[in-house]
Amino acid sequence: MQITAAQLCHILKGEIIGDPEAVVRRPGKIEEAGPGEITFLANPKYEPFAYTTKASVILVSRDFEPREAVSATMIRVDDVYASITFLLNEFGGKVEAQEGISGQAFVHNRADVAKGVSVGHFSVVEEGANIGEGTIIFPQVYIGKGVQVGKNCILYPGTKINRDCVIGNNCIINSNAVIGSDGFGFAPKEDGTYQKIAQTGNVILEDDVEVGANTSIDRATMGSTIIRKGVKLDNLIMVAHNVEIGANTVVAAQAGFAGSSKIGDRCMIGGQAGFVGHIQVADGVKVQAQSGVNKNINQADSAWYGSPILPYNDYLRSYAAFRKLPALMKRISELEKKLKDKG
């Protein structure tokens, strides 16, 4: 990437303030960027860095009014996040992979691999698997029997997709994610041991799904565990058997979903949130980090916090009162002592 501020301004339909010939070669964080780098200011907390950054170019919003001198060339844009996202995808988002099938990979002769698919070293594609055009399979990926992978997917090193699972088009599965591991199903026996229940279903990832590193999605006991179109799952997430996560829902790291929970469309779920099994969550629900969802949430576009969950504002009021408990207990103790002394 090498581009001038003037060229960037034209691409982003922005307004330039400063040197139009400033050259950008790479992006950088506003607090660390140096000459030849482009950075951005979107969060007001980082405004002080706008006056000290060594970056050559900085993207700012159209309504940004600097309170001090800014040495970097500024480009004012309508939406800073959208602009920097566009630039990162345009100039740094291309995934490099080897062409064709590595001689050190194993592809079963009864697997159907489309033209133009890349298969890296030591990857395995089992019998009956079907891989769509433009898909990139990095080294050490396992694709089990009967698996279907759509077009233009990226499977990063160490990904495991077990038998009969279905991956849609334009999906990204990051390193060491496991799709289609056995669901946690055991029946107690009279002698105190457990009998494993066969997990006969599969996992379906619809189009445009991204799965983070080390995330595990269990196959259904019967039927399918389903991750709907456009869902984005962070790293280290656990999705149990027969869970359904609705379209365009985003989930942060270390969240967990117990069996048969149903999550609506467009939900936003914070890190380490937990969901008990067999519950339903309405569309557009926001669940704060570390919350415990122990019941159905039927109100669409509502916000929740705490463990067990409370409506967001109720939780904040409750927590404000909770923080005062030590002082309140001390005051009660002092009042009791005074009453006792008077008596």
Residue 300: CA count within 13 A, CB half-sphere: 6
Structure tokens given for 78: 């309508």
DSSP letters, 132-189, are -TT-EE-TT-EE-TT-EE-TT-EE-TT-EE-TT-EE-TT-EE-TT-EEEEPP--EEE-
Please, are residues 131 and 117 in contact by the beta-carbon 8 Å criterion?
yes
CA 92/CA 101 separation, integer angstroms? 25
Quote the longest CA-to-CA distance of the chain: 94
Say whether 80 sits in a helix, a strand or coil: helix
> Is residue 77 a contact partner of residue 59, using CB atoms and an 8 Å limit?
yes
Query: In what order do the strands lie in the sheet containing 256-257?
Result: 106-107, 124-125, 142-143, 160-161, 178-181, 216-218, 238-239, 256-257, 274-275, 292-293
Judge whether 285 and 264 are in contact, CB under 8 Å.
yes
| Length of the chain measured in residues | 343
What burial class does residue 201 get, using C-beta atoms within 10 Å of its C-beta: 0-12 exposed, 13-18 middle, 19+ buried?
buried
The region, left, alpha or beta by phi > 0 then psi within -120 to 50, assigned to residue 104 is alpha
**Of 94, 115, 180, residue with least CA distance to 144:** 180
Which tokens is 310 given?
A: 């409370």
Q: Prior bond to 308 cis, omega within 30?
A: yes
Catalytic residue numbers read 241
